[in-house]
Structure 1
Amino acid sequence: MRPSASRRRGLVLALIGGLLPSAACSLVPGAGEGGERAPAEQRDGKGRAAPTEGVMCAEHGVLEALCTRCNPRLAAVFQARGDWCAEHALPESICPICHPERGGKPVVDVAQDGAPADGTKVRLKDAATVVAAGIETVKAELREGAGGVSTTAHLDYDATRLAHLNARSPGVVRALAADVGSRVAAGDPLVVIDSPEVGADRARLETARARVAIAEQNFQRQLALAPDGIASQKSVLAARQELDDAKGARAALAASLSVLGTPGRGAGGYTLTAPIAGVVTQRNATIGRLVSAEQILYEIVDTSAMWAELDVPEIDLPLVAAGQRVQLTLDGLPGRTFSGAITYVAPWLDPHTRTARARVPLENPDGLLRANMYGEARITAEARQAVLVPRMAIQRAKDVRLAFVRLSAHEFETRRVEIGISDGQRVEVKRGLRAGEEVVTQGSFLLKTETLKGSIGAGCCEAD
């Protein structure tokens, strides 16, 4: 009889005994057809490939950690359990030919959250089986002075050094002076546009200037005749008002035309110039094209500085504030570290990712940093103690993270853990482990499969 959920903590999942492969299948995440070596965080200390969560054996269609064709030593484990497809030399329960609906994976249906209960025990046949299976452990390490928050980051243009240039008045593009990739200085010409509206405004401006000249002459005449009584005070005031109106109309037209840039060829031509120094990254104008005032014709970026945008998880926000130093590594620039300080933390959260945006300005004098690069940022925070374990010691079942602690020579206990920051090779465990406990590294994936109800070889029995 299967025990109730309330008794799962005291259960022992008895393994008949098995052998964990000393090397995973030839293909690993990110590897090419030639089977490139797994990255460092997926290998143990002896350089062997460690089974990775959810990775399939591309050749045989089953989980690579359970593939008996690539790892023949595992075959005896499943044969002893009676879980064996002799025709295809694979475990019957995950044989993709006999059971294509399972997709080469164990059936997972343990609890409401899909993960084994905290404290579930796994017992191998004996200590010799542990050695033969290749299961290895390390002690959880307590590190003094640990602190900070690690999160993802991507690069973007510094918005204060980004310019979008649009047509000042509708017209036709007559000439282009810069293309994508051109380096321009502030004031350099970019595009010449002919606009009927501009031509009409310039004609009106000339009329307004003439009106001002005539009004000025009339006002001076009325002012000179007034002392002799030839011109009344009323006519002087009327002449003064006409002069002021003429000057106002002239100023309005001149101001309207001043935003166009420098005059171009023809009565209606005008030339748009670069508002800042930088690199042309977009050009949406072509000769002969009719453009409107709403259309962006050029984008210019000063790339001597960039912004790193950090996605800070909601749970870590109390540790993050403006002024904190940040160390940034980028996927596209391995071996390089960039540093800066947070200048802004958004007052709102993304409703989908539950993260807040933090901004770090970065100097980019050599142009290595490019928009949309991705990487990892470590934010310096208050120093504290932290329990660290190798990254490969943490397994995942649905949304629950697990670790396995050695209790005796051949018995292990499942722990639900909460993880924190990572330094690449090791990960912080905020809850679920104590410093000094022996945690399974190599072989943790196979132990996880044994804790899942309905998985390969898993059987529940009462603890002795």
Structure 2
Amino acid sequence: MKNAIAVGVVSFGLGIAATMLATVGPAGRQWSTRVFSSLHEAPAPSRAAPAEAPMEGDEREILYWRAPMDPTFTSDRPGRSPMGMDLVPVYSSDAGSLPPGTVRIDPGFVQSIGVRTEPITRRNVAQTIRTVGTLAHNDRQIAWVNTKYDGWIENVAVNYLGETVEEGQVLFDIYSPQLVTTQMEYLQAVDYAARLETSAYPAIAERARSLVASTRARLNYWDIADAQIATLERERTPRRTLSVLSPVTGVVVEKLDQALDGMHVRAGMNLYKMADLTTIWVDVEVFEHQVEAMRVGQRARVELPYLPGRPYTGFVRYLYPHFDEQTRTMTVSIELENPDLTLRAGMYANVTFDVPVARDALTVPEEAVIRGGTRDLVVLERSPGTFQVVPVTLGRYGAGVWEVLEGVEDGDTIVVSAQFLIDSESNLTAAIRTLDSGMDVPGMPVMPAGGRAASDMPTEHRHGEEHLATPIGEQATPDMPAEHLLGAEQVSSPPSRAGDMPTMPAGHRH
């Protein structure tokens, strides 16, 4: 129709030009004659070839024709879709003899849209949890250095934070009157026990030996080492100061003051804090929905930004029993081996958990699931070219697969690509069955002959309302109903006298 209008406009323009040239002379008339003859001899515009008819010998009943890429576009005759593709027939056998949600598609079309399938398998589903953490000292390997007596510090040997000390290394010397008195009592007890060793009264000798043992135990309780006591026995002279030794091998992480030399200390005053770094903890945060997967003894992979490519393996040692009210996370503590002492407290770490959440479960690939707002669907291949859309109940997710709790069985074959096209075809087939049964289908446009829906017709606005416009080239006839021209409302009878205005429907008067 548009081509006919274009030809008419061109003919009108050429007619005016020919008239002007005819006034010039014979040459102009000759040119106009050639133009009009070529115009009328031009072939008519070619129309799109109709869709291929069904194969010869196919006696199945055709219900309707539809667009291959737009299932909502249907027609009662063959033709082309708005995308220029041939309409494909839908047979009664395809729509009436299959279970709900099942469609049959030509194998050639299945191959052209790239349908891929794979069997449903059972496997273990592992969930990967990635989080960050902070390294901290092992609380079980922390030692405080203090004295159990009053005194004055002299000759400090360890003065710096972060300094590494060995077990038994001298930290400082201390003068304490209590220590001097106890050394003298110990030497006297040793001499007394030696004199009574040959006594005729064994009870007296035993009492002298117990006095030596009690005095020696008092020195041990004050952390005086056996080697220091042996030196005292050998020299037979009390020492003014005794050395305080480190109880563990580790690093000084806290120190009482910048300078300890000459400081007076009281019993129980903490002077140093030592940390053994052969093992270290990593405190990580996990969200509420991840806590259920955490277990004591679970393996964790730890990587540090400043040591790329060198992962550490640790194990969960403790799950804290409370949540942070601001971040809504729970702290999980991991223990790591640190033999070369390269890990220090305060470092950041990236932590990964591979948590098994389901064992021997039916699983489907993530791309095979059609996620909906209220339900989840998968497409199963029942036989070559026959597919069924079924709802499923999903369980846990991990490593690119979903656990399926209900909806599929062992041995089913699932579609992992182009399932959206098959799902749309299934919905259309269900809608056609409903139409055949005489029921209305919400959301399905009614297709007139030729495959064009009423919602696709051009519209125009008259008197403030929207109505269907008359197609170009269609002339109004005396027997054409008024609603075809003015929409749903009809025009009243024509005026009886000259000058009278037609009565407009309510709401259309200006």
Q: TM (normalized to structure 1)?
A: 0.43
Specify the structure having the higher radius of gyration (Cα): 2
Q: TM (normalized to structure 2)?
A: 0.40
